[in-house]
Amino acid sequence: MSETAIDRAAMGRLAKALTFLLSAAHPTVVALRTASETGDAGDIRKARTLFLKLKPGERQGAMNMLKD
């Protein structure tokens, strides 16, 4: 499995978790969902950047949801 495939799967799970925490229309959720679907390097870079700009509590909440 390539590194991009792993990133795509993780981004899809993060998008689902953030949809619960934020909303489906939040720009970060949309970017993560798009990156998960396309696998395009530019989309992945944009999604990572937006994810890192979230508040620390929002990022941690999404990561905690992935652990379960």
- State pLDDT tens for residues 6-23: 568 889 999 999 999 999
Neighbours of 42 (CB within 10 A): 9
pTM for the structure as a whole: 0.86
Q: How far is CA 65 from CA 3, 24, 43, in A?
A: 22, 16, 23
Residues of the chain with pLDDT under 70: 1-7, 68
∠ at Cα 22 (26, 13), nearest 5°? Answer: 85
Residue 33 and residue 36: Cα distance in Å, rounded?
5
